[in-house]
Structure 1
């Protein structure tokens, strides 16, 4: 089954139902269907054909879903980029996509248009906001095109559907290739876990990129999708209350902000049924608070660009952890997702047993086809259908996965090995700490010292943080220094670039 037209079902079953809400804009299902038809026809008029890649560089906006729909209707692949990616960093990725059309938000078009001469294959920049002389106006492009359904392309399961970007924490990001089969597997899993139905109000208070996998079935079913462009705790809570949101797709960082918001108790959140949480897990204490406030509505998800999701800690797992005598499971990321196999392997990639620390290796129907135009990286990471993630972890006897950080992040202190994630979890117990990144800074030629970089929401001293670390960690893992910062350098997917933090530290 290939869901090519993700808007037609909702448009013909309930044309006037709200499909998309973003800011002050609301589009009905029929509007989204017709607008996506217009865009699909316009892209073909610009010369694009099945298999071409359309790059997207914009904040959350009401046009995002119709762009995704238009690409699928015409057999085009979409390559969305986080707006945190600097324009000059996008140039090699757009060129690697050989993208002839790049769709930009008004905030991004100015800087990207200055780099157009470096875009080897790009013939057209399209601006979602008026940008005379710099790009084609998006609305004019739609108005000049037919609202009729475009010709149906000949699509197969192995055709390219989506191009993502890895974190690129150690170099240029690699670009992942998801086929129609892979994207269907992702959508089915998200829809199943969230128990999506046509009456759901789906809310995504994070970048649109993270939830695109769910849209294929979300819009086919006829749900309402809210894509905010403002992410303050107050705005999120007001939206849940006003729109009577039933399903949420968000990040652990968002949940942490809500838990620390003083006005959390002032809102009616009774409509919530399920909350999908991706990103680094919350601490045990934070999960306990979250369950107490929201109830057993959470699904903690372990996902990466190469495979999403890999594992799930579901509501019944949270209940078993808190009421069934297994509190340690609050530190896990759950058990394998549908059709996913997880194993832990040693340095020689041979299987390890329960509770043994090693590299997380995965396989399954939602695994990418490989890296775009990078067969060497594909061959290194994926062997015989098994993906070697570079993440450290262990499985317990019941199949629950416990992540311990990245292999490349481990810090050697003397003859001891420090796992930065364990230090970060300890520091995050302080309520005033919003973000933390722990790294090893070279001391001499072969040794390292542990340094914690911290962003706080209020007053917190180094000593307060060190007290928490001494309670949880062996002495060699306690940071030698705490550095307070206003922000962290991050990759396009939102991960902290620890190498840049180390370079900044060394250049002080």
Structure 2
């Protein structure tokens, strides 16, 4: 590596703590930490890790619910020049052990109750040093005790870094195959913070507040970087599960003006009666990402919250940084204010999108192909995975694996994952198109359409539908609803009614899980 040519991202916290020492940085339940207190704790954790022999480039795995310790670990790793390796706290010990084999951490920070996860990680031969919150065993160090005993480092101790030095292993959700560790770097995330402040939540200041309703291990963690840069307070939910009533109470109490959500969380927030019982007029940027939002759900959210919805499309590999549909570009009008009905917006500032065909050539406006992107937000590749890198990073572009089309103005519409598309009778079927129409039925709460092998058509669709409470639905009702609204070849041949759709730990509905349940239930085409 050459000489340092980038700011250590941990300096964002250092700068904010110097500028706003007495402002509230973090709220969790009844506890409050000022920026000076939070930064001092981060520096002590950095000292604990350094004393344990953790240094630049070493990986620190974190298996934790959202908490002050998890947030502190992020910044301590950044300042140390180490690599933050957060996992989804809902994963099993065996799954976390698999991530440890991929990332080879030197240390593990675990939340209370996750001793079995620590044992599974250590059984792989990694993470000899363990910090535990509240229930440390004899061979582990208690988090608070270690911080209290640490000698704080001198000022300006942040590690010297280059733009390409890694700071975060962002695990792909792994719904198809083994999760991969996407390598995020100081330079890449430095760009992304500036981009967020320009495109996603402009005008954020130390007078702002951000409510965290999703795991900090993924998109919500990326979102909080810009909050720290601006000195906005971060408010964590006091409970492990999403407590919608408490979320709205906190919005009112802290005058929350921005939050990061995924469509399933936003849907839960606006369908709960508490949305009408608390003042949420402070909201300016309610960001939803991670999966496309169905138009019916989008309209309800707009009616409940007003013009504060911001959509972005992206993947962990580009830290969510592909498109933005601003609050003023959302519309209740049937023609969507003149924009394509289900668009996810235009390219983020500094990023370029192309729809590429099979041969890697750009397709003209209106044609469907793979969504590809390039620019400063693209990651450095998957950790020690040349095969995956060769597939994802080729022809000068990052290949998302998503299908979509651009219009002549540059508005992107996603038609689905390449892996979700199925071919029925020789014709391509994009499940999202069919799902959108099914969701316009007043009795439907949620649905997922998947293609399964069919003896005559090659593949045909099965729609898995969850009725709204009190609604009585039949397969005949739904097929009648689709008649005339969707071409015959796109219509599912079967409709099954379920109490709920299977969801990942991030609230998404992976089609692989839907297919697995259908197989388990013996549902298919003979």
SS in 2 for 1:10: helix
Matched residues in 2 for 1:466 and 1:120: separation?
A: 55
Establish whether residue 410 from structure 1 lines up as the match of residue 415 from structure 2: no
Q: 1:135/1:485 Cα in 2 relative to 1: closer, same or farther (>3 Å)?
A: farther
2:205 paired residue among 188, 191, 197: 197
CA displacement at 1:47 relative to structure 2: 0.7
**Cα offsets for 1:175-230 (capped at 9, x unmatched):** 10111111112211212220221211111211223122243332232110112244
- The RMSD of aligned alpha carbons is 2.4
SS in 1 for 2:11: coil
SS in 1 for 2:12: coil
Matched residues in 1 for 2:395 and 2:325: separation?
A: 28
Structure 1 match to 2:511: 498
CA displacement at 1:373 relative to structure 2: 0.6
* TM-score, normalised relative to structure 2: 0.90
Establish whether residue 137 from structure 1 lines up as the match of residue 142 from structure 2: yes
SS in 1 for 2:330: helix
Is the contact between residue 406 and residue 413 of structure 2 (CA under 8 Å) also seen in structure 1? yes
Is the contact between residue 84 and residue 490 of structure 1 (CA under 8 Å) also seen in structure 2? no
Is the contact between residue 167 and residue 494 of structure 1 (CA under 8 Å) also seen in structure 2? no
Establish whether residue 111 from structure 1 lines up as the match of residue 116 from structure 2: yes
Is the contact between residue 84 and residue 494 of structure 1 (CA under 8 Å) also seen in structure 2? no
Is the contact between residue 469 and residue 478 of structure 1 (CA under 8 Å) also seen in structure 2? yes
Matched residues in 2 for 1:112 and 1:222: separation?
A: 34
Gaps spanning 5+ residues in structure 1: where? Answer: none
Establish whether residue 440 from structure 1 lines up as the match of residue 446 from structure 2: no
SS in 2 for 1:30: helix
Q: 1:162/1:457 Cα in 2 relative to 1: closer, same or farther (>3 Å)?
A: farther
* TM-score, normalised relative to structure 1: 0.93
Structure 2 match to 1:479: 492
Which structure carries more relative contact order (alpha carbon 8 Å, separation 6+)?
Answer: 1
Gaps spanning 5+ residues in structure 2: where? Answer: 1-5, 522-526
Establish whether residue 316 from structure 1 lines up as the match of residue 325 from structure 2: no
Matched residues in 2 for 1:71 and 1:7: separation?
A: 12
1:218 paired residue among 222, 227, 241: 227
SS in 1 for 2:371: strand
Number of residue-to-residue matches in the alignment: 506
My pick for the range that moved more, 167-176 or 497-506, is: 497-506
Matched residues in 2 for 1:488 and 1:100: separation?
A: 38
CA displacement at 1:496 relative to structure 2: 3.2
SS in 1 for 2:287: strand
Matched residues in 2 for 1:494 and 1:253: separation?
A: 6
Q: 1:500/1:288 Cα in 2 relative to 1: closer, same or farther (>3 Å)?
A: closer
Structure 1 match to 2:520: 507
Q: 1:113/1:283 Cα in 2 relative to 1: closer, same or farther (>3 Å)?
A: closer
Matched residues in 2 for 1:467 and 1:103: separation?
A: 54
Matched residues in 1 for 2:277 and 2:474: separation?
A: 33
SS in 2 for 1:163: strand
Q: 1:46/1:206 Cα in 2 relative to 1: closer, same or farther (>3 Å)?
A: same
Q: 1:140/1:263 Cα in 2 relative to 1: closer, same or farther (>3 Å)?
A: closer
Is the contact between residue 296 and residue 318 of structure 1 (CA under 8 Å) also seen in structure 2? yes
Matched residues in 2 for 1:297 and 1:146: separation?
A: 45
Establish whether residue 72 from structure 1 lines up as the match of residue 78 from structure 2: yes
Is the contact between residue 166 and residue 493 of structure 1 (CA under 8 Å) also seen in structure 2? no
2:215 paired residue among 203, 207, 211: 207
CA displacement at 1:455 relative to structure 2: 4.3
CA displacement at 1:504 relative to structure 2: 3.1
CA displacement at 1:237 relative to structure 2: 1.3
Matched residues in 2 for 1:219 and 1:446: separation?
A: 54
**Cα offsets for 1:73-131 (capped at 9, x unmatched):** 11011111112332212222212211011112213x13313414432222123222223
Is the contact between residue 223 and residue 260 of structure 2 (CA under 8 Å) also seen in structure 1? no
Establish whether residue 297 from structure 1 lines up as the match of residue 288 from structure 2: no
Matched residues in 2 for 1:37 and 1:484: separation?
A: 53
